[in-house]
Protein backbone atom coordinates (compact mmCIF):
# COMPACT_ATOMS: atom_id res chain seq x y z
CA UNK A 1 0.00 0.00 0.00
CA UNK A 2 1.30 3.44 -0.88
CA UNK A 3 -0.14 6.88 -0.21
CA UNK A 4 0.65 9.12 -3.17
CA UNK A 5 -0.19 12.69 -4.19
CA UNK A 6 -3.27 12.58 -6.38
CA UNK A 7 -1.29 14.19 -9.20
CA UNK A 8 0.60 10.86 -9.53
CA UNK A 9 -2.57 8.73 -9.75
CA UNK A 10 -2.80 6.83 -13.03
CA UNK A 11 -5.40 4.66 -14.75
CA UNK A 12 -5.13 1.03 -13.67
CA UNK A 13 -4.05 1.74 -10.09
CA UNK A 14 -6.30 0.14 -7.47
CA UNK A 15 -7.60 2.16 -4.51
CA UNK A 16 -6.44 0.56 -1.22
CA UNK A 17 -8.50 2.79 1.16
CA UNK A 18 -11.81 4.52 0.67
CA UNK A 19 -11.47 8.03 -0.73
CA UNK A 20 -13.61 10.34 1.41
CA UNK A 21 -14.69 13.97 1.14
CA UNK A 22 -12.59 14.84 4.21
CA UNK A 23 -10.38 13.27 6.89
CA UNK A 24 -13.43 12.78 9.10
CA UNK A 25 -14.19 8.99 9.20
CA UNK A 26 -17.92 9.72 9.03
CA UNK A 27 -17.59 11.80 5.85
CA UNK A 28 -19.07 10.64 2.55
CA UNK A 29 -17.16 8.02 0.56
CA UNK A 30 -16.37 9.17 -2.97
CA UNK A 31 -14.63 6.01 -4.14
CA UNK A 32 -14.44 2.65 -2.40
CA UNK A 33 -11.53 0.39 -1.64
CA UNK A 34 -10.74 -2.00 -4.49
CA UNK A 35 -11.88 0.30 -7.30
CA UNK A 36 -9.56 0.45 -10.32
CA UNK A 37 -8.87 4.06 -11.31
CA UNK A 38 -9.84 5.18 -14.79
CA UNK A 39 -9.01 8.43 -16.57
CA UNK A 40 -12.58 9.72 -16.13
CA UNK A 41 -12.68 8.79 -12.42
CA UNK A 42 -9.32 10.50 -11.86
CA UNK A 43 -10.64 13.64 -13.59
CA UNK A 44 -13.80 13.67 -11.44
CA UNK A 45 -11.89 13.18 -8.19
CA UNK A 46 -9.37 15.86 -9.19
CA UNK A 47 -12.27 18.30 -9.79
CA UNK A 48 -13.54 17.48 -6.29
CA UNK A 49 -10.21 18.59 -4.84
CA UNK A 50 -8.80 15.22 -3.75
CA UNK A 51 -5.14 15.74 -2.79
CA UNK A 52 -3.89 12.20 -2.11
CA UNK A 53 -4.90 8.57 -2.58
CA UNK A 54 -3.75 5.27 -1.08
CA UNK A 55 -3.23 2.63 -3.76
CA UNK A 56 -2.38 -1.06 -3.68
CA UNK A 57 1.21 -2.10 -4.11
CA UNK A 58 3.97 0.44 -4.50
CA UNK A 59 3.54 1.77 -8.04
CA UNK A 60 5.39 5.07 -7.64
CA UNK A 61 9.13 5.27 -6.97
CA UNK A 62 9.80 8.55 -5.18
CA UNK A 63 13.18 10.15 -4.74
CA UNK A 64 14.93 8.87 -1.64
CA UNK A 65 12.83 5.70 -1.34
CA UNK A 66 14.46 2.28 -1.39
CA UNK A 67 13.39 -0.40 -3.84
CA UNK A 68 11.95 -3.71 -2.64
CA UNK A 69 15.27 -5.43 -3.33
CA UNK A 70 17.19 -2.80 -1.35
CA UNK A 71 14.83 -3.12 1.61
CA UNK A 72 15.10 -6.93 1.66
CA UNK A 73 18.91 -6.78 1.37
CA UNK A 74 19.05 -4.33 4.29
CA UNK A 75 16.84 -6.65 6.35
CA UNK A 76 19.17 -9.60 5.63
CA UNK A 77 22.19 -7.50 6.65
CA UNK A 78 20.55 -6.62 9.96
CA UNK A 79 19.93 -10.27 10.82
CA UNK A 80 23.13 -11.78 9.38
CA UNK A 81 24.75 -12.35 12.79
CA UNK A 82 21.83 -14.28 14.25
CA UNK A 83 21.07 -16.80 11.49
CA UNK A 84 21.51 -19.67 13.96
CA UNK A 85 18.79 -18.31 16.28
CA UNK A 86 15.37 -19.72 15.27
CA UNK A 87 13.43 -17.01 17.11
CA UNK A 88 15.36 -14.23 15.40
CA UNK A 89 14.78 -15.91 12.03
CA UNK A 90 11.02 -15.96 12.73
CA UNK A 91 11.17 -12.25 13.54
CA UNK A 92 13.13 -11.60 10.32
CA UNK A 93 10.52 -13.51 8.33
CA UNK A 94 7.70 -11.47 9.90
CA UNK A 95 9.47 -8.26 8.87
CA UNK A 96 10.10 -9.69 5.40
CA UNK A 97 6.41 -10.50 4.89
CA UNK A 98 5.45 -7.02 6.09
CA UNK A 99 7.87 -5.38 3.65
CA UNK A 100 6.54 -7.52 0.80
CA UNK A 101 2.96 -6.67 1.73
CA UNK A 102 3.63 -2.95 1.97
CA UNK A 103 5.56 -2.85 -1.30
CA UNK A 104 3.17 -5.11 -3.19
CA UNK A 105 5.92 -7.64 -3.91
CA UNK A 106 5.55 -11.28 -4.86
CA UNK A 107 4.04 -13.33 -2.07
CA UNK A 108 3.14 -10.27 -0.06
CA UNK A 109 -0.36 -9.63 -1.38
DSSP 35: P
Taking the domains of the chain in order of start, what are their residue ranges?
2-55, 68-103
- Report pLDDT digits (tens) over 65-108: 777 888 899 999 999 999 999 999 999 999 999 888 877 655 44
Q: H-helix or E-strand containing 20?
A: strand 19-20
Backbone dihedral angles phi then psi of residue 105, each to the nearest 5 degrees: -80, 170
Distance of alpha carbon 15 from alpha carbon 72, whole angstroms: 25
Q: Is the pTM of this model over 0.75?
A: no
CATH of 2-55, one of 3.90.105.10, 3.30.2130.10, 1.10.10.60, 3.30.300.30: 3.90.105.10
Mean pLDDT of 1-14: 88
Distance CA 80, CA 101 (A): 22
Amino acid sequence: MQNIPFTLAAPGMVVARDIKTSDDPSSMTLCGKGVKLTESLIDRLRQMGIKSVTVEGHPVKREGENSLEEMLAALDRRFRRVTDDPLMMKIREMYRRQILRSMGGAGGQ
